[in-house]
Amino acid sequence: MTDALVTWPYTSAVLLAGAALFATLLFALARFGIPGVDRISANTIQRLAKNSAAPIAGQLANRAADLIFAAFVLRLLGATANGQYAVAVVTWLYLKTISDFGLSVLVTREAARSPDRAGYLLGASTLLRIVVLAALVPPIAAYAVGGTHLFDLSRASAIAIGLLTLSLVPGSYTEAINSIFNAHERMELPAALNVATNLFRVCLGLAALVAGFGVVGLALVALVTTTVSTLAYHVALRHVGVRPVWRLTRSEARWLITVSWPLLLNSLLVNLFFRADVFIIQAARGDHALGVYDAAYKFINTVLLVPTYFTLAVFPILSRYAASDQTRLIDSYRLATKFMLIIAWPMTLGTVALAPLLIGILGGAEFLPDSASALRVLIWFLPLSYVNGVTQYVLIAVDRQRTITGAFAAAVVFNLGANLLLVPRFGIYAAAAVTVATEVVIFATLAVAVRRYIGYFNWAGIAVRPALASCAMGAVLLLTWRAGAIPATIAASLSYAAALVVSGAVGRQEANIVLALLGRARTVAS
């Protein structure tokens, strides 16, 4: 650490040069796009593969960079300063959720249905986001200023909250543009832009940390990065031929608010039950316990990328089927759910096996064994979380987003009550277990809505075979555990793949999909 501080001017110069390089790459991608992607066949399955694989691959690269960056943050900031920045980030998350107002999903749906309205939706949704954000400034300013006197909020946290709030202004336009790309099923370019943006942020962030700017420096880097990214996204609009129409009348604003507020409420409720335990742990167990729990969540944020981008890729297709072909909608939903379960189970069991290794690499011995133990409990939320993610978008596609609100409201009530009751006594392990149980509550309520508004859905027929394959994987893990965590995980993963075939979880239909992805299928639904 001392050597790093002595040589910080040189280290910072190298990192800033890297940031300049990635900024150049960002604008090159925005201007010229990705050569060759437009030659991909336009059939439905290949579009879905392109539109989900590219963002997932891009975000996996981003998460890899984020995890490396997090390791430096944990070591250079320390637990206390990391907690100060975490408070600012969670505050920013709530502000972002409210100012977005559910418009990201709404704009994607409406622009997919009516491409000629994309320019209007882009401009109007951006303006509405900024109006909502402006209304949030007084209360957030009161919290940032008053919190330093009433809630032991640090000055660094207050300044970081202000800078992160400012970053939402250009970020609002970026989110709107991203929705337009999603509606046009052009997810590959935003994915590439996000990778370049993230690498730019990591270089600037490391330079700020090495130079000793701490929490405030990280927040300032976020503001600069968001602004540069917004400029690049604006340049990239040329690839979809959309120009923003900067108009927001009262009637238009009323329509957007009326249609999107259930989506806002759903997003806000999701963030409430996912992040409310942060405040409860801090109050009941202190900053150290929160830091340990937060380290486990850094891996959770990575594994949640798969359903996020897969559902965004399938959402335009589901929206069209919802309006024209109920049978195709149900078939697509069934396949998507099955795919999510097949992916989720090995990730869950692999994380259970490798948790100590993963946490040790990220945070070091200071976070062991508690963070690894919490991760081993927390990861069991994954299979149902993946299924619930797809189900939400199916209900949105059939314009039943209000039914999701009831599910999330029940989840929030359960989550808050259980955390308040159990965390003071059992600490972070209770918080992890409550997160898993909350997914069960969400699934139970969403399943009722699916039965009512979409039709009969044979959950057991879809879930049993992937679950049996996961049991085979777990058995191999136990039998080979003495050989070491990594060899055991590799052997178990191979057994899982074999069990999928033997159990019939992967069969002729899945093989036909693979052939279609390779461009060899004779007939593919368009």
Per-residue pLDDT tens listing for the chain (526 residues)? 444 444 556 567 777 777 787 788 788 878 777 655 544 444 555 555 555 556 666 667 777 777 788 888 877 877 678 778 887 888 898 888 888 887 887 888 888 877 888 888 888 889 999 999 999 999 999 988 887 777 677 888 889 999 999 999 999 999 999 888 888 777 777 888 888 888 889 888 888 888 888 889 999 999 999 999 999 999 888 888 888 888 888 888 888 888 777 777 767 776 666 677 877 887 788 767 877 888 888 788 777 776 666 766 677 677 777 777 777 777 778 888 888 888 899 999 999 999 999 888 887 777 888 889 999 999 999 999 888 888 888 888 777 767 777 788 888 889 989 999 999 999 989 999 999 999 999 999 988 888 888 877 788 888 888 999 999 999 999 999 888 888 999 999 999 989 888 887 776 665 555 444 444 433 333 3
| CA–CA separation, 180 and 186 (whole Å) | 9
Amino acid at 10: Y
- What local confidence, expressed as pLDDT, does residue 330 receive? 79
Contacts 24+ apart (CB under 8 A), 17-20: 18/199, 18/203, 19/200, 19/203, 19/204, 19/207
CA dist 206 and 68 (Å) reads: 10
- pLDDT recorded at residue 57: 67
Q: Taking the complete model, does pTM exceed 0.75, yes or no?
A: no
Q: Name the CA dihedral angle for 248, 253, 255, 259, rounded to a multiple of 10 degrees.
A: 120
Separation of first and last alpha carbons in the chain: 57
Alpha carbon separation from 90 to 86, 155, 269 (Å, rounded): 6, 16, 14
| Alpha carbon distance 300, 293 (integer Å) | 11
Phi/psi at 42 (5° precision): -90, 5
Q: What angle do CA 288, 76, 374 make, to 5 degrees?
A: 35
Question: What's the pLDDT score for residue 84?
Answer: 81
Contact 321, 328 (CB under 8 A): yes
Q: How far apart are CA 413 and CA 470, in angstroms?
A: 31
Cβ atoms of 473 and 495 closer than 8 Å = yes
DSSP track, 286-342? -HHHHHHHHHHHHHHHHHTHHHHHHHHHHHHHHHHHHHH-HHHHHHHHHHHHHHHHH
- Please give the Cα distance from 91 to 95 (Å, whole number): 6
Contact present, 127 and 294 (Cβ < 8 Å):
no
Tell me how long the chain is.
526
Q: What angle do CA 522, 524, 526 make, to 5 degrees?
A: 140
Judge residue 122's burial from the number of C-beta atoms within 10 Å of its C-beta, 0-12 exposed, 13-18 middle, 19 or more buried.
Answer: buried
Which pLDDT score, from 0 to 100, does residue 105 have?
79
Q: Work out the number of other CB atoms within 10 angstroms of the CB of residue 396.
A: 25
Q: What's the confidence (pLDDT) of residue 48?
A: 53
Instruction: Please state the domain extents for the chain.
Output: 1-248, 276-457, 461-521
* 51 vs 53: CA distance, rounded Å: 6
Per-residue model confidence (pLDDT) at position 148: 78
Based on C-alpha coordinates, what's the Rg of the chain? 23
**CB-neighbour burial class of residue 134 (10 A; exposed 0-12, middle 13-18, buried 19+):** exposed
* CA–CA dist 125, 99 (Å, integer): 10
pLDDT at 6: 43
User: CA nearest 308: which of 389, 383, 385, 380?
Assistant: 389
- Decide: 179 and 48 in contact? Cβ < 8 Å: no
| Contact criterion met (CB below 8 Å) for 106 and 397 | no
Enumerate long-range contacts of 224-228, CB under 8 Å, 24 or more apart: 225/197, 225/200, 225/201, 226/167, 226/170, 226/171, 226/174, 227/167, 227/170, 228/23, 228/26, 228/197, 228/200
Task: In whole angstroms, give the CA distance from residue 253 to residue 129.
Answer: 10
For residue 447, count CB atoms less than 10 angstroms from its CB and return exposed for 0-12, middle for 13-18, buried for 19 or more. middle
Burial 164-183 (b: 16+ CB within 10 A, else e): bbbbbbbbbbbbbbbbbbbb
Angle at 161 between CA 232 and CA 138, to 5 degrees: 105
HSE, side-chain direction, 13 A CA sphere, residue 398:
23
